[in-house]
Amino acid sequence: MDLFATCPKGLEYLLVDELKALGAADVREALAGVHFTGELDVGYRACLWSRLASRILMTLAEFDVSDADALYAGARAIGWSEHLDLTTSFAVDAVGATPGVTHSQYAALRVKDAIVDTFREAMGERPNVDTENPGLRVNLVLRRGRAIVSLNLSGAPLHQRGYRKGAGLAPLKENLAAAMLLRANWPVIYAAGGGLVDPLCGSGTLPIEAALMAADVAPGLRRAHWGFAGWRGHDAALWKMLHDAAQMRAQAGLQALRPVFFGFDENPTVLNEARRNAQEALLSGFIQLGRQTLEHLHRPHELEQAGLVITNPPYGERMGDDENVIALYRLLGEKLKAEFPGWRASVIAADEAHGHALGLRADKRYKLYNGAIECTLLNFEVAAHDAPRPAPKPLSAGAQMVKNRIEKNFRHLRKQAQREGVECWRVYDADLPEYAAAIDIYGEHLHIQEYAAPASVDENLARTRWRELVRAAAEALGVARERIALKQRRRGKGGEKYGRLDERGEFIEVGEGGLKFLVNLRDYLDTGLFLDHRPLRAHVRALAKGKRFLNLFCYTGSVSVYAAAGGASETTSVDLSQTYLDWAARNLALNGFDSSAHKLVREDALGFLQTRSAMYDLIFVDPPTFSNSKRAEDFDVQRDHACLLNLCGQRLLPGGLILFSNNFRRFKLDQAALAGFAIREISAQTIPFDFARSPRIHRAWELKKT
């Protein structure tokens, strides 16, 4: 069966690993969720054992939706009698919108009508609708002209474990607490003999989740109600077997659990709630909760071995003005250094200034969402002693040379970047061959890509030069080390490696040409914004007014955003990667462009051109040098560009224009095979000022049908 686990944004990659460990197959992340497949026992295990998911949905059908009638027809085609009987009440939960169906409540009503009419036509009766406590919940998602209809196997959100009877002013959801603990490496710390302290524990969610995790207690073990209970396909015997096995594991885990969990708070009301919650979770004998201000925080004498301090400090509306928040984070940092040397620490910060106030250097940062609030989880190693750091050694002669060059380039290029409204630009590109790297500025961050040294260069010397370059860049540009993303760009078999490098999910917002874009400096080889394409993007904006625009190999949709900003009547962006299409959707939304006029299509570009009949005024084509995707035929830009561009020509309206670009340095345009076009190379006009030192970064052409 096809299944989908929803989760808060930022937890997708953790959830992928968790579901794989539970036996799921075909696991792949999406925005705020994870697709997977498996038999019924996998779905049950996900409900019972997932610490990170919000809901587990079983897909019944997915179909195109052009209007409300198509939605009704698609829902009528589902075999509802296999899932629901007349004695079971149901409800339909709908999210999203799509052209033709823009109101989620109306969409839910049409699906409800389809279910009711199916039973009334077949049996003369209909099941009841109960929006409060239905026997079965149907889930509807509308997105980009598609509808997905699922059964909600979990029912109430999975973060509702069943133990929390009370909560503070802004309670931390249990699945977010579990994610914090996993990111902080809590299972390894506990296994090594460490304990846990939450100095601002509120209603106790972090200590309770930590204890449940350490004791191997299934997070869903104490839940009384499940969404699958009213489903006709429910296998009660299978569920009982899985539940009984989880019960046995919990009993064994609790017997072996060490009482090394401490929570402190100065608010007696929320502490009483924490005590009730711990009691409901059967953990009151393992978690020690006490009233204590942060000023009087001390390491519990019971914890002789280094462990983990983890907390979700109050911030925003919970705290009042920002000065109070800054003071609290500063005090927390001071107490960590004074009382917990040698420990790990993990702290949520809702603002970058809060993290700086801690006075500790984070070795890991993860983007999370506490409800609607975007936060950063900061992980630290608290220094074993608070002695001042020795002064850094002087730069070597070579490092000083590269620092001087970076400073010179920055002074020379900064004013032009400011004039053009550019926040992201290249300040250094292997200007000194011994220090072979590209250094790009992204707002207040640096992105440094090392070019692999030739085999003739000693490996130790190459590593030394790399470290010197990073330090020189940090000093020359005044950027803290935690704001510098480091990568090595190496050529793999068949071309560049465009796979995932990390799983932080950290996006930052940057500006260019009065528009906004999301970039990710750490998770992928490329950041989401090709800096050398700035003039090309501006050229598209200048040409786009009133045009039907097609963006092939659209990546994260930045060129489509420029086309929309230029007044394109519609845009269509095509890519095989759902990750990039989701990213493109966020970029469009970030700039206020309605998805109804800006389509995103997950398809191979060649296949799209061969199977679609739509015509366009302006087509932008920036293919990869090579692609060997499993979902499409192999692509080689030198071999296949003529076929690609001729297919584009078939989709071009009279007077239309193709903009073609690629980064293959040995590329030769096959003019003979493109005899049907008037061709003009525009490479020189499309190289931005900061790439003038390396004008071979790309080549570009305009093609018009003759």
pLDDT at 467 over 50: yes
Strand partners, 61: 149
> What is the overall mean pLDDT for the chain?
91
pLDDT band at 490 (very low <50, low <70, confident <90, very high): very low
pLDDT tens, residue by residue, 66-95: 999 999 999 999 999 999 999 999 999 999
Q: Give the pLDDT of residue 383.
A: 82
- Burial class from Cβ neighbours inside 10 Å (0-12, 13-18, 19+) for residue 468 reads buried
The answer to whether domain 174-215+258-381 and domain 530-705 are alike in fold is yes
User: Which tens digit of pLDDT belongs to each residue from 665-704?
Assistant: 999 999 999 999 999 999 999 999 999 988 889 999 999 9
Tell the CATH topology of 174-215+258-381: Rossmann fold (3.40.50)
Residue 213: what pLDDT? 98
Q: What is the domain partition of the chain in residue ranges? A: 2-152, 174-215+258-381, 397-496, 530-705
276-306 per-position pLDDT tens digit: 999 999 998 899 999 999 999 999 989 989 9
Distance (Å, whole) CA 505 – CA 502: 8
Domain 397-496 classification at class level? alpha beta
CA–CA gap between residue 557 and residue 572 (Å, rounded): 10
Whether residue 128 has pLDDT greater than 70 = yes
pLDDT at 169 over 70: no
Q: Which two tokens stand for residue 544?
A: 């786009």
Q: Taking residues 28-48, report their average pLDDT.
A: 96
Tokens matching residue 216: 């191997």
pLDDT tens digits for 343-363? 999 999 988 888 889 999 899
What pLDDT is stored for residue 493 in this prediction? Answer: 36
pLDDT digits (tens, 9 = 90+) for 402-449: 999 999 999 999 999 988 889 999 999 999 999 999 999 999 899 999
Query: What's the rounded Cα separation, in Å, for the pair 121 and 179?
Result: 47
> pLDDT digits over 358-409, tens only?
999 899 999 998 877 889 999 999 986 544 555 678 999 999 999 999 999 9
Longest dimension (CA), the chain: 89
Pair of tokens at residue 269: 């009301």
User: Would you give the DSSP letter of residue 632?
Assistant: S
Residue 541 has pLDDT above 60, yes or no: yes
CA-to-CA distance for 306 and 341, rounded, in angstroms?
Answer: 8
Mean pLDDT computed over 513-538: 94
- The larger pLDDT score, comparing residue 183 to residue 628, is at 183
Among the ranges given (105-119, 459-473, 620-634), the one the predictor scored with the smallest mean pLDDT: 620-634
Average pLDDT over residues 622-649: 87
Q: Which helix (H) or strand (E) holds 10?
A: none
pLDDT of residue 171: 75
E strand spans, 179-333? 196-198, 261-265, 287-291, 308-311
Whose tokens are 């460490």? That residue is 194
Place 483 in a pLDDT band, splitting at 50, 70 and 90: confident
- Residues 103-114 as b/e (b if ≥16 CB within 10 A, e otherwise) read ebeebbbbbbbb
User: What integer pLDDT is reported at residue 480 of this predicted model?
Assistant: 85
Q: What is the pLDDT of residue 266?
A: 93
Q: Report H helices in 235-351.
A: 236-256, 268-280, 322-339
Tally of CB atoms within 10 A around 144: 16
**Are the C-beta atoms of 229 and 135 separated by less than 8 Å?**
yes
Q: Quickly name the fold that domain 530-705 has.
A: Rossmann fold (3.40.50)
369 in Cβ contact with 375 (< 8 Å): yes
What is the model's pLDDT at position 353?
A: 81
Distance between CA atoms of residues 545 and 565, nearest Å: 9
Calculate what percentage of the chain has a pLDDT beyond 90: 80
Overall pTM > 0.85:
no
- Confidence band of 456 (pLDDT split at 50, 70, 90): confident
For domain 2-152, is the CATH number 3.40.50.300?
no
Contact in structure between 609 and 643 (CB atoms under 8 Å): no
Q: Does pLDDT of 167 surpass 80?
A: no
Cα separations (Å) of 18 from 36, 40, 174? 11, 17, 16
Residue 601 has pLDDT above 50, yes or no: yes
**Region 514-523 average pLDDT:** 93
Percent of the chain with pLDDT over 70: 94
Q: What is the pLDDT of residue 319?
A: 42
